[in-house]
Amino acid sequence: MQKSPIIRSDDLRNENRRRVLDTLRMNGPSTPSRLGKLTGLSPASISTLSGQMIDQGILSSERYQIDREKPLRGRPRSLLSLCPDAAHVMTLTLTIDLIRVQLVDYSGSVRDANQEIVDTRSLNMEELLAKICQSIDALRRAHSGIQLRHIGVGFQGQTEHASGKLLWSPVLRERNVPLGSTLQQRYGVSVSVHNDCRLISQALSRRQSELLG
């Protein structure tokens, strides 16, 4: 079919874009040349991708002097970085007797957080969902000017990722809690629900592959 090369080209572009964003998030602001070395992308690809993302407000570029001791000899270069206010997400951690919510900006920095100590095993389903929403609402009120894009949930127990259900956990009294669908309907954003140990193992595996790569 004629469309398949276009699809493959789009997939490659999206993958390269993700590689640039992940590298900046992990390593901080970088020059285009350093970013090319870290990602393995050509200077032309870095220039095209960064230009597009600057126009979209995802990246910012500032000029800096290479040799600050000898400014007349140093040629100004650009330093690429993530725009923190490009997007915000919330992370929700639910463990024994603790509900913790964090607001994270596009650079991966935690902007604010709150937590509530509560006897999670004493709550019925309605009470549990209400407590969680209250914690999220409190943080949203404190940062009413931002646009929330996603809510990520780490749960100490068994989850059903596709539906976002909390299936079972020793920290809860209830089973099959429809947390994902409840949050998605209430806040109008995408929601992902995972077992917290799985998230930790994924993070460690990803970090290890980056160190080896």
Say what the pLDDT of residue 72 is. Answer: 46
User: What is the per-residue pLDDT across 95-128, written as a single tens digit (0 to 9) for each?
Assistant: 999 999 999 999 999 999 999 999 999 999 999 9
**Cα–Cα distance, 95 to 155 (Å, whole number):** 6
Annotate 104-172 with DSSP letters as a single string.
Answer: EETTS-EEEEEEEE--GGG--HHHHHHHHHHHHHHHHHHTTTS-EEEEEEEESSEEETTTTEEEE-TT-
Read off the pLDDT of residues 55-93 as tens digits, 9 standing for 90 and up.
Answer: 999 999 998 765 555 554 555 678 999 999 999 999 999
Tens-digit pLDDT profile for residues 154-171: 999 999 989 999 999 999
In single-letter form, the type of residue at position 67 comes to D
